Amino acid sequence: MEDFENHRFLSGSLSLAAHLARPPAVPSGRELPGVVIVHGFPSGPDGGANSVATFPELAFRIATEMGWVAMIPHLRGMPGSDGFFSLDGWRDDVVAAANDLRDQPGVGQVWAVGFGSGGALSICAAAVDHQIRGIGALAAPADWSDWAANPRRLLLHARDAGLVTKDYGPDDFNQWAASLKGISAERSVASLAPRDLLVVHGDDDEVVPSLDARVVTASHGAADLRIIFGAGHHLRHDPRAIALLLGWLDGQRRQYA
């Protein structure tokens, strides 16, 4: 497998790290689909089950087995990337990653898939970037109202996870906290329609209730909702969820080839 961090791109003035996986062999002149894989909020200094280090294996599989170009951006504040965590900043990073992936040699249309907050941010990014062809959102929250209710606690969590440091963090706390209320998948998803949306959620998710998936699906109007019996929050590690995601991507490729 390729190096964990083998690519860099710009989001505004920030230089962000990424992992880029390409198919081993591509016929000359063939246009490849691209997918941005968006990580969620890490649960501690090592990221726990949400660690971005768990995603290159998925990117490798999508590239080698399915013939896509897959990109995993390390959103601002993550290891190897400039800046510090903010919700609107992370959304802008997803938009920048999609733009950068479209600029890669041989890449045509681009999709985005995300896990946890990464799924919700993918929806929010697609509301801004109408060239994103479709979204796969797994275990995604409808909004960040829990974070918005106690932004100072979230800031402490972000510091514990290494996304914000005492010397490098928001100068305007109120503006930083306001983004937690100003962005939501539920409000953004109407701008995604009629583009395709896959929503996958576990019915035993202990972090984000499955009601959030139903709310996002209803707000879109034509999303493909899949509820997985007995599944928890960390769907990256649930083979049923990954099978649903890969099957959906394959269908997208065939539909838009």
pLDDT in tens, 177-209: 988 988 999 999 999 989 999 999 999 999 999
Residues 152-179 have a mean pLDDT of 85
- In this predicted structure, what is the pLDDT of residue 256? 84
Residues 96-115 have a mean pLDDT of 96
- In this predicted structure, what is the pLDDT of residue 50? 53
Residues 91-111 have a mean pLDDT of 97
- Asked if residue 2 belongs to a domain, the reply is no
What strands, in cross-sheet order, belong to the sheet with 196-202? 7-11, 14-21, 69-73, 32-38, 107-115, 132-138, 196-202, 224-228
Provide the domain limits for residue 50: 7-256
> How far is the CA of 182 from the CAs of 38, 123, 143, 176, in angstroms?
20, 14, 9, 10
Number of separate domains in the chain = 1
Task: Report d(CA 7, CA 155) in Å as an integer.
Answer: 28
Say which residues have a Cβ less than 8 Å from residue 174's Cβ, sequence separation at least 6. Answer: none
The overall average pLDDT reported for the chain is 91
- Asked if residue 1 belongs to a domain, the reply is no
Helix 210-220, helix 185-192: angle, nearest 10: 30
Cα 27 to chain center, whole Å?
Answer: 29
Amino acid at 17: A
- In this predicted structure, what is the pLDDT of residue 57? 94
Whether the predicted pLDDT of 225 surpasses 80: yes
Say which residues have a Cβ less than 8 Å from residue 163's Cβ, sequence separation at least 6. Answer: 42, 77, 78, 84, 85
- In this predicted structure, what is the pLDDT of residue 1? 41
- Asked if residue 75 belongs to a domain, the reply is yes
Residues 168-180 have a mean pLDDT of 85
Say which residues have a Cβ less than 8 Å from residue 251's Cβ, sequence separation at least 6. Answer: none
- Asked if residue 29 belongs to a domain, the reply is yes
CATH number, domain with residue 19: 3.40.50.1820
- In this predicted structure, what is the pLDDT of residue 49? 47
Residues 81-103 have a mean pLDDT of 96
Name residue, tokens 């914000």.
164
- Asked if residue 57 belongs to a domain, the reply is yes
Residues 112-140 have a mean pLDDT of 97
Two tokens at 9? 């791109």
